[in-house]
Amino acid sequence: MSEQAKKEWLEWIKAIAIAVVLAFILRTFFFATSIVEGASMNPTLESGERVMFNKIIYYIDEPSYGDIVIIDRPVKNYVKRVIGKPNDTIEVRNHQLYIDGQKREQNFLSKEAINATRDFGPIKVPDNTYFVMGDNRAISKDSRNGLGFIKEEEIIGRTELIIYPFDEISLTQ
């Protein structure tokens, strides 16, 4: 092998090594993917869709109302929407969401999903926790009925993009 060929080969190996290291850093610290399981986020997200989520956003900011987040639990991850922040009082009355007594619009929900939302609360969200719900309110396991309040450290990212199936690539917010 000529000296020039060795040099080109080493440059090629170096480029691959850098790409692998960058991919590892991005996946470990910045972005990851998750598969949506079940129908609790229909029609916003459907079972089997793969979403890309931002892992670093909540190190520099806090979850906002309406964010679709990934929740890390020992058995599996959940995909839900942030409805209440620490110290909020959450109530659903006559199919309408109230936060601290103020009616909140939920433009991300269909009329059917709003009408399927049963009365709940009022309940106060404790410090360092969040209240989440699925968009398919009639069947969602969420803060109302099984998941409880979500600790801040259990929220591992905000969904940004549906990446699979390919014909449905779009932003999730």
Catalytic residue numbers, as ranges: 40, 80
Task: Give the residue ranges of DSSP H helices in 26-148.
Answer: 57-60, 111-115
Do 15 and 31 form a contact (C-beta atoms < 8 A)? no
Q: What is the C-alpha radius of gyration for the chain, rounded to an integer number of angstroms?
A: 21
Q: Is 107 exposed, middle or buried (0-12, 13-18, 19+ CB in 10 A)?
A: exposed
Task: Give exposure, 140-155, as e/b (b: 16+ Cβ within 10 Å).
Answer: bebbbeebebbeeebb
Chain-centre distance of CA 72, in angstroms? 10
CA distances from 167 to 41, 49, 162, 164 (A): 19, 11, 10, 7
